[in-house]
Structure 1
Amino acid sequence: MTKSLLWAVIMLSVGFKGWAQESLNTPGKSTDSLSNVFTLGEVQVFKNKRSPLFNSVPAHQIQQFAKNDVGKALNLLPGVTLSQIGPRNEALIHVRGFDLRNVPVLIDGIPVYVPYDGYVDLARFTTFDLSDIQISKGYTPVNYGPNSMGGAINLVTRQPVKAFELNGASGWQTGGLRSNLNIGSNLGNFYFQAGLSKLKRNFVPLSNDFEATAYEDGGTRDNSYSDDEKVSLKVAYRPTTNSEYALSYAYQSGEKGTPVYAGADSLNTLFSRPRYWQWPKWDKQSLYFLSNTQLDNSQSVRTRLYYDQFKNILNSYDDATFSTMTRPYAFSSLYNDHTLGGIIEYDKQIGRIDRLVTSVQYKRDVHREHNVGEPEREMSDGTFSIGLENQLAITEDLLFLTGLSFNNRTSINAEDFNAQTQEIINFPANSNNAFNVQGALQYDLNGNNIISVAIARKTRFATTKDRYSYRMGTALPNADLAAEYAINYDISYKGSFADNSLNLVGSLFLSDIENTILNVRNVALAADGVTWLNQLQNVGHTRNAGLEIGADYRIATSLVIGANYTFINRTNISEPSIFLTDVPRNKFFGYLQYGFKDVFTIQANAESNSGRYSTPYGVMTDPFTVFNSRASVHLWRWFSLEAGVNNIFDANYALTEGYPEAGRNYFANIMYRF
């Protein structure tokens, strides 16, 4: 794909009717949303989705709130907070206080997080070809695989339902453009789905209230560009109603800059020594085969076979000209990672009240890296998991869910490079086992009100970076890091009243996290005998506790109001003087939407966050409130126009201290759907 690729495509916007059928705060899907969901891509343990522990952001909500990337879309939900790794310009989310190392990201059930550090930049994942973003919290099925200590996120792609489908959009945003196209055909036994998209931004505008610093003069944020392109293709065969086989391929190409630190924390090394980083390559491609074979009326077998590749280049320059690499901190770093794996699930209905799902998974993660001028070294792990889920209908209204799994992570290869001798040597071999067990009771009071209680012991393996990184010369590796584990408690409620005009959800949760991997300071002297080194060790004990509440109310056929609130208290029990970062204690989101038939829709929303810690030593961001709006109008037949304003009042705010977010910005798109 070339960087000059532009599409002139237009798409009919989703009408208000779809919104009225779906609640932002409650599980389930609207009729329109469900029809295009790629069901093979869902991680369904049980077909009964009564559980209030399940949340999703379907495609029509993504569009109505104008969320172009996965991070911003997930931020609509209670229990989820958007964060930013400022020095890397990466968008992340926290789920009930857990970051993405504890909440794996999957596409159609295939893990796509980066093998080296367990993270993934959610801003690089656009939403244009997705039918649903599904997130599991609290009771998370063990079939999601290892490292789902705090939940799991599954990005479900589209599938066609008509003989011919075409939709897309093309438009402008402050500093850039957006174009996308989806095309599909369902011919009964066969179907195919394809997608193209481009999201480009030359700069991010700063608020007029931003005060210039030594390295950022305001106006447009320096080095804040990004360019993301994606192509996807899926072909599938359905020999029978309940059996299906699909082959999918997706390629995404990205590049971005990293704005310099623009804060006031003199203890931050970037305050006096800024980084001049650019990422000319952030490329990912996935090839995967999914199947479901119905053996008879009571049993089936599902498979997922996949190959996922990640290639990355990071250039660190001398200065803001981004032209030379001569200073000691300048380098060009190359990653070449891939994951090869498979999942097999066996589903058996035992009588009328009992259902059993077993799964076996294996994946090999390979990380290859080097700086230009150095030899390439490889680090690889093999991860095995076997799991069992059971659903027992004690009565027609009372379900008992249980899950059990055994996971093993074993290092296959771990090479180290000695810059002085120019030799590659091996780190010590290591292996780690982890057990997960959980249970839940769900009681359906009257078909419209459900209460559930869950408890789970879940784990996370130390990443390759956790075990082997020298952290730019400041740390000692620790190959023998053991898995973290958490005991998660959850009480949840979901209810509907007044013929489903009023929907309510609520959860109380607590996670007690042991063996937490924390940085221990001053464990050894460096080779020069002066610098003290740190090391990651399993010495931590932390706790996340809080609540989520949400409601929406259809005041009239054309008017909906809704809101959700999240409270999270994170405690570092083992070292209270070290603060846990990146999660605000309070987050509020609310919206109001009015629609006139299928002709016109207008919506306004607001998000408010309390301050959050950006550093372990107590530097915080300021609290903020941001207002946004969007309107759409049906122009003619397949055509419509949407436009909106984000950060209407031009708030000067940050998710990480020293890395201000966008000020007031605008967008407008021509859209169509056949």
Structure 2
Amino acid sequence: MSKTTLFVLIMMIPFPGKAQNPVSNQKMTADSITPAFFQLGEVQITTFRKSVIKDRVSQVAMETYNKIEVGRALHLLAGVNLTASGPRNESMVSIRGFDLRAVPVYMDGIPVYVPYDGYVDLARFTTFDLSAIDVSRGFSSLLYGPNSLGGAINLISKKPSEKIEYSGALGMINTNGSRGDLNIGSNLGKYYFQAGYSYLHRDSYRMASGFHARPNEDAGERDNSFRTDQMISFKAGWTPNERHEYVLGYRYQKGEKGTPVYVGDDQLNPLLAKPRFWQWPVWDKETYYFLSDTKLSATDYIRSRIYYDTFKNTLNSYDDASYTTQTKPYAFQSLYDDYTYGGNVTFGTAVIPENLLKFSVHYKSDIHREHNSNEPVRNFKDNTVSFAMENTYTVTRKLILIPGIGYSIRKNDAAEDYNSTTQMVSDFEKTGASTAWNGQLGAFYSFKENQKASFTIAHKTRFATIKDRYSYRMGTAIPNPGLKPEKAVNYDLSYSGVFFKALSMQLSVYYSHLTDAILSVNNVTPGKSQMQNTGAAEFMGMEITFKYDFREKLSVGGNYSYIQRHNNTNPAVLFTDIPDTKVFLYTQYKPIKPIRLLASTEFNASRNSTSYGTKAADFTLVNTTVSARLWQYMSIEAGINNVFDKNYRLVEGYPEEGRNFFVTLRIFKN
């Protein structure tokens, strides 16, 4: 056991004392830490209940900036960068240099990432039924469970508070896209329910005027860029009294999309000579879940989550841009039929004065089933168990210490190989269980009500995914079932404060050191690579967020992010997809009460699209929105994104949307 782990174990010992809660001035109990929003959907480390600037994107912010996809909503935050997988037309984010494999995505605390590769396409997750999105960086609650190497993202659904609540919208996106959503809720005291439906469709998106015709793309409307996403959600809650709450929920997402063809200039990119003609007619996800909260006494509680999640995915590779025939050697139909089930239980107690202890246990079983048409199904199964303990110790009215420790074990119970020559399925070589320790410690100090500082250190891990261990990567790689977990130690120093009652600011500096990073090693055998634990790296950077209210009618704000990433193992192999600098600024003006004018701009520095240095150029975007309250329960808004029609890219060879407009009519009662 390392010295760091031993130190964290010692810090887990409850500390006796008589200090009071620094915020509420009341003794800490299980009942005094109730968070806002949908309580059972939150997973958080309890510190000061009031925060100057939270790592949270609220429903108001999503609507104000017209962010209808989760990835683009998250991009509003400092330290979060919108990224993309161009060849798969997937939207993702990176948090302080860590991608979604290291920053898992949850819905009300339930994992929703894809079992096979640990990713999830955030463009398929719309914001229409969300009350907030919480982001943890580095020092994330161990109660999330395993794999939070760089943090966690939690999508929090709505919960009604009135007898009848509703919200909805109808809108037009350019001339060939539409959106619609309706959410209805009712809280009758002992019972409540929330239901929602949403629809988002685009025939295509328009290229910027600066893009000129290329092979496989004639400019104008981007070929094969269609999408349709529908979502149905429902949950019903029962609160027989103040000490009990039970929720049954259901969520169904149905999606389909095209993948635009590569139109770049990289001579080393195989897609330049051999373009892919891909479409995804099925991207469906279905989740059933049960949540509960039982307060055993004034100091003790038990919370639980039980879930069953399915993921169905179909990829069609066609002969050419007609997307009609599949006769050539590279044409195929690939089908995934995955499911996940599991749950977790958390016990919390404040029986020891000034300490809030939390113990949790997680179990998760991931089943991945894949095959190409006319081939047998291959089965993969991982079982993961995780234990965690956190303690919130109120040292004084100003100081809180939060240590935590966790242990996870993952065992592979099925992994099948397929030989296309013999057309036989066989088992991969068996491997032993993989284990990982996690530990962290945070110190949070409040100088005064609106001046706070914190220092955190977190040792986190990530298990290798099924794809990391078993994928042949279309015949170019050798599987490695024995991959060990990646490790990272994340340090963070932050300060936040309010000055002159109008200026809010938050400053963070951070450093992460990675070891056993899973990297592709070339020519393990002639012409073939293998994923191996050969990587060591360091990420470091800073973030500044600010907001200034000049007066009731005018406010400005924004954030600045800077990051450096160093590949210590092989400096010639570059990290990709993230700019070292991102700046976001906005101005909001309300000339009269019903009218709001909003202008925002963002700058992204250039970023590497390949490990050998192909770049996507820097860009600056300007967006504008005007909204008006028509009457008590209705408003209308319209806006223009990419006002100056910038021809920009997140990935070289995959241009983003040019100038586009939207008009949205909203109704609401809450």
Interval of TM-score (by shorter of Structure 1 and Structure 2): over 0.9
Following TM superposition, by how much is the alpha carbon of 1:167 offset from its aligned partner in structure 2, in angstroms? Answer: 1.2
Matched residue of 1:667: which SS?
strand
Matched residue of 1:99: which SS?
coil
Please give the residue correspondences for 1:378-527 in structure 2 after superposition, counting only pairs within 5 Å.
Answer: 378-430=379-431, 431-499=433-501, 501-525=502-526
2:52–2:504 Cα contact (<8 Å) kept:
no
* Alpha-carbon separation, structure 2, partners of 1:104 and 1:114: 10
Please give the residue correspondences for 1:291-370 in structure 2 after superposition, counting only pairs within 5 Å.
Answer: 291-370=292-371
Which residue, 583, 604, 611 being the options, matches 2:606? 611
**Pair 1:497–1:576, CA change in 2 (3 A):** same
Code of the aligned partner of 1:570:
R
> Residue deviations 1:224-283, cap 9 Å, x none?
000000000010011222421101100010000000001000100000100000000000
Matched residue of 2:63: which SS?
helix
Q: Which residue of 2 aligns with 1:132?
A: 132
Counterpart check, 1:668 vs 2:650? no
Which residue, 640, 646, 655 being the options, matches 2:635? 640
1:166–1:183 Cα contact (<8 Å) kept:
yes
2:45–2:140 Cα contact (<8 Å) kept:
no
Following TM superposition, by how much is the alpha carbon of 1:341 offset from its aligned partner in structure 2, in angstroms? Answer: 0.3
* Alpha-carbon separation, structure 1, partners of 2:651 and 2:402: 39
Matched residue of 1:87: which SS?
helix
Matched residue of 1:296: which SS?
coil
Counterpart check, 1:226 vs 2:227? yes
> Residue deviations 1:147-196, cap 9 Å, x none?
10000000000011110111100010023000000001110110000000
| Runs of 5+ unmatched residues, structure 2 | 1-33
* Alpha-carbon separation, structure 2, partners of 1:320 and 1:481: 39
Q: Which segment drifts farther, 534-543 or 634-643? A: 634-643
Following TM superposition, by how much is the alpha carbon of 1:213 offset from its aligned partner in structure 2, in angstroms? Answer: 1.3
* Alpha-carbon separation, structure 2, partners of 1:359 and 1:178: 40
1:52–1:492 Cα contact (<8 Å) kept:
no
Q: Which residue of 1 aligns with 2:76?
A: 76
Following TM superposition, by how much is the alpha carbon of 1:332 offset from its aligned partner in structure 2, in angstroms? Answer: 0.2
* Alpha-carbon separation, structure 1, partners of 2:652 and 2:664: 33
Matched residue of 2:448: which SS?
coil
1:45–1:357 Cα contact (<8 Å) kept:
no
Matched residue of 1:350: which SS?
coil
> Residue deviations 1:365-398, cap 9 Å, x none?
0000000000111101001100000111111110
* Alpha-carbon separation, structure 2, partners of 1:468 and 1:493: 44
**Pair 1:535–1:35, CA change in 2 (3 A):** closer
Normalised TM-score (structure 1): 0.93
Code of the aligned partner of 2:200:
L
Following TM superposition, by how much is the alpha carbon of 1:35 offset from its aligned partner in structure 2, in angstroms? Answer: 10
* Alpha-carbon separation, structure 2, partners of 1:264 and 1:73: 31
Q: Which segment drifts farther, 563-572 or 137-146? A: 137-146
1:53–1:139 Cα contact (<8 Å) kept:
no
2:197–2:231 Cα contact (<8 Å) kept:
yes
* Alpha-carbon separation, structure 2, partners of 1:194 and 1:274: 42
* Alpha-carbon separation, structure 1, partners of 2:216 and 2:347: 57
Following TM superposition, by how much is the alpha carbon of 1:447 offset from its aligned partner in structure 2, in angstroms? Answer: 1.2
Code of the aligned partner of 2:249:
S
Q: Which residue of 2 aligns with 1:589?
A: 584
| Runs of 5+ unmatched residues, structure 1 | 1-33, 526-531
* Alpha-carbon separation, structure 2, partners of 1:52 and 1:452: 13
Give percent identity, aligned residues only: 47
* Alpha-carbon separation, structure 2, partners of 1:524 and 1:162: 65
Following TM superposition, by how much is the alpha carbon of 1:563 offset from its aligned partner in structure 2, in angstroms? Answer: 1.3
* Alpha-carbon separation, structure 2, partners of 1:595 and 1:294: 45
2:53–2:496 Cα contact (<8 Å) kept:
no
Normalised TM-score (structure 2): 0.93
Counterpart check, 1:620 vs 2:615? yes
Runs of 4+ in 1 over 3 A off after TM superposition: 47-54
Matched residue of 2:584: which SS?
strand
Counterpart check, 1:554 vs 2:549? yes
* Alpha-carbon separation, structure 2, partners of 1:427 and 1:511: 34
Which residue, 527, 539, 551 being the options, matches 1:544? 539
Q: Which residue of 1 aligns with 2:158?
A: 158
Following TM superposition, by how much is the alpha carbon of 1:52 offset from its aligned partner in structure 2, in angstroms? Answer: 7.5
Following TM superposition, by how much is the alpha carbon of 1:48 offset from its aligned partner in structure 2, in angstroms? Answer: 4.0
> Residue deviations 1:82-126, cap 9 Å, x none?
001000000000000000000000000000000000000000000
1:490–1:508 Cα contact (<8 Å) kept:
yes
**Pair 1:289–1:150, CA change in 2 (3 A):** same
Code of the aligned partner of 1:80:
V
Q: Which segment drifts farther, 476-485 or 590-599? A: 590-599
Matched residue of 1:445: which SS?
strand
Q: Which residue of 2 aligns with 1:8?
A: none
Code of the aligned partner of 1:252:
Q
Matched residue of 2:607: which SS?
coil
> Residue deviations 1:21-49, cap 9 Å, x none?
xxxxxxxxxxxxx9982111001342743
Q: Which residue of 2 aligns with 1:20?
A: none
Q: Which residue of 2 aligns with 1:204?
A: 205
2:47–2:444 Cα contact (<8 Å) kept:
no
> Residue deviations 1:41-71, cap 9 Å, x none?
0013427435779510010110000000000
CA RMSD of aligned residues (A): 1.3
Matched residue of 1:162: which SS?
coil
Code of the aligned partner of 1:173:
I
Q: Which segment drifts farther, 395-404 or 45-54? A: 45-54
Matched residue of 2:586: which SS?
strand
Matched residue of 2:590: which SS?
strand
> Residue deviations 1:529-582, cap 9 Å, x none?
xxx111010001111100000100011011110010000101111000000000
* Alpha-carbon separation, structure 2, partners of 1:276 and 1:298: 59
